[in-house]
Amino acid sequence: MKVRIVYRSRIAKILGVGGITLYPYILISGDYDEVLMNHEFIHIAQVRRDGWLRFYAGYLWDWVRLSVRLNKHAYFELPAEIEAFSSQRLVRHPALNETRTREV
Ligand SMILES: [Zn+2]
């Protein structure tokens, strides 16, 4: 499915995030940012790898599970976020090559 990117997204602004991937949409609160786009495209690759339902259900489950266990905001502890943050500066990450060159 073709990725759709929305810049200056009201939804992203309301949610208070720089960007959010709601496959197949990437909603960006501001303008183009290379590292942020890499981050969101890694989430696109995760959804394609895991499937929509499994990815989002797993993301929410991890959020709840880890927030309770850690007794704090667990965003940076989520496996999907750890993967995205660890690779967002890698220009040659396979997920970025696959998604960005063919479908946008
Ligand atoms: Zn993320």
Query: Over the stretch 36-57, which tens digit does the pLDDT of each residue have?
Result: 999 999 999 999 999 999 999 9
pTM listed for this prediction: 0.84
Sign of torsion over alpha carbons 30, 12, 100, 60: positive
> Looking at residue 90, what is its pLDDT?
74
Within a domain: 24? no
Within a domain: 62? yes
Tell me the pLDDT tens digit for each residue of 18-38. 999 999 999 999 998 889 999
Within a domain: 19? no
Within a domain: 7? no
> Quick check: helix, strand or coil at residue 20?
strand
Q: Which of 23, 19, 12 is nearest to 56 (CA)?
A: 23
Within a domain: 11? no
Q: Give the whole-angstrom CA distance, residue 75 versus residue 55.
A: 15
Range of the domain at 54: 33-103
Within a domain: 40? yes
Buried b (16+ CB within 10 A) or exposed e, 33-46: eeebbbbbbbbbbb
CA of 68 to the centre of ligand 1 (A): 20
CA of 74 to the centre of ligand 1 (A): 12
Would you call 5 exposed, middle or buried from its count of C-beta atoms within 10 A (0-12, 13-18, 19+)?
middle
Within a domain: 51? yes
CA of 51 to the centre of ligand 1 (A): 16
CA of 13 to the centre of ligand 1 (A): 15
